[in-house]
Amino acid sequence: MRKESDRGIAIVGMGIVCSIGANTIEFKQSLKSGISGVTRLAVRKGPKLSVDMGAEIKNFSFLDDLYRYSDLPDEILQKARHCARRSSFSIQASVLAALEAWQDSGMFARANDPERLGVIVTGENTTQNYRYGLQASFEADPEYLSPRYALQFLDSHQVGVLSEIFSIKGEGFVVGGASASGNVGLVKAVQLIQSGIVDTCLVSGVVADLSPMELQGFVNVGAMVRENTFETPSEASRPFDAGHAGFIFGQASACVILQSCDMASEQEGVVRAKIRGAALNLDGTRTTAPNAAGEARAMTMALQRGGMSAGDVDYLNAHGSSSPLGDATEVEAIKQVFGDHLSELRINSTKGLTGHCLYSAGVVELIASVLQMEDGFIHPNKNLENPIDSDLRFSGATFEKCRIKFAMSNSFGFGGINSSIVFQNGG
């Protein structure tokens, strides 16, 4: 019989590149300080858009950052350079986050059976801006279109790149789940490991490199904050605040390495946290509308699968996208699930600092949660001045110490996609 502490799937490596940190150490510091990555958007070619702010990755240099991971064998760094040097921003960002996670896991120093390693890339339509950038020269002269385009416009190119760098030869694929993509990937990785198909799975959340057309689309559908709504960019992402007005575009590539507990104990690496339960369900709708019952069902199912009850959870990293309807719906769902235990549950939303990282949000927020667990704090809800609900215990405007043993992270997406993950500290 397994001990209680052996349950779950181990998180053995984490890596990130986002607007408030080029790695997990910088990211953790920004979380503690409540630093927002939201600024005026970089100027884009093309028509003027109705959106003027976002939490973009700035000062990105693949070659400068590559050699930061000098603990890794030279062979891996050379392969990374070779595979990604002439690739799109989104590939390069994925590679850097994956290198950090790989170094963190210590796996490079051990013998791994490549056929027992898997890779899941989270995010759909991740090459839109790459394509948009080629449009004008393509229209001028289709014949000079790079032959590489036929590979690189495919989301699955990320699978190929990561599998080549890290010699992964088990299962690998792309998952899409709109804003829940990151969590969808985590759910599938947990299932791959639980079913014994792989021992270890790298989950890579792809940076949302939206083209001007997607940015405008999110404004037009009423989901993203329209220009001139806020004077100060850092105040624009306001999850659960009465002044929330839609989500703010955020960029992050984020990577975690999941492993069966048996393999983790065999490898004697550091287990940073353990995923206990993961759930994904649908509302049966093609629309953007959130649904409290569906969200509650995802949270409840994640708890059940983890053999846990609502009262066990100390901390919730909410989906909290700063959407008025989305935030109110999630509050309703949280109340349904946590009922009498609301007073014991601390809540924040990382999107208040990072913006909404879309395809990678679930992975970003799992990493944020584990970093908070490890250091015993909850990060500020920087812009939460007038909470839309007085029963929920949201974190305040400043860093707070908080002992977290069990945590939950939610992600919801257009098309009625609900997901929730519960995890416990690594000890």
Partner 1 sequence: MNTGESVLEKINVFSVVKNAITEVLPDVDSESVDIEQNLKSLGANSIDRTEIVMLSMEKLDIKLPLVSFGGVENIKEMVDVLVDAFDGNS
- Give the binding site for partner 1 (CB under 8 A): 81-82, 85-86, 141, 143-144, 146-148, 151
Least distance between partner 1 and beta carbon 146 (Å): 6
Smallest gap from Cβ 132 to partner 1, in A, equals: 20
Q: Which is nearer to partner 1, 146 or 194 (CB)?
A: 146
The rounded radius of gyration (Å) of the Cα atoms in the chain is 20
Can you tell me which residue has the tokens 């890794």? Answer: 72
CB of 135 to partner 1, least distance (A): 17
- Tell me which amino acid residue 184 is: V
Residue whose entry in the numeric block shows the structure tokens 């990937």: 185
69 DSSP assignment? -
Smaller CB separation from partner 1, 32 or 81: 81
Q: Output 58 or 148, the one with its CB closest to partner 1.
A: 148
**What DSSP letter does each residue of 118-158 carry, written as one string?**
EEEEE-SSTTHHHHHHHHHHHHH-GGGS-TTHHHHTSTTHH
Least distance in angstroms from the C-beta of 277 to partner 1: 43
CB of 233 to partner 1, least distance (A): 37
CB-wise, 141 or 231, nearer to partner 1?
Answer: 141
3-state secondary structure of 52: coil
- Which residues on neighbouring strands pair with residue 18, listed in sequence order? 21, 252
**Look-up: residue for tokens 């694929």?**
173
With respect to partner 1, which residue has the nearer C-beta, 85 or 403? 85
Q: Please say which residue, 50 or 146, places its beta carbon nearer to partner 1.
A: 146
**128 contact partners, CB below 8 Å, separation of at least 6:** 209, 210, 211, 213, 214
Q: How many Å is the maximal CA-CA distance in the chain?
A: 67
Look at the block and give the residue holding tokens 């940190």: 21
Q: State the minimum distance, in angstroms, from the CB of residue 103 to partner 1.
A: 23
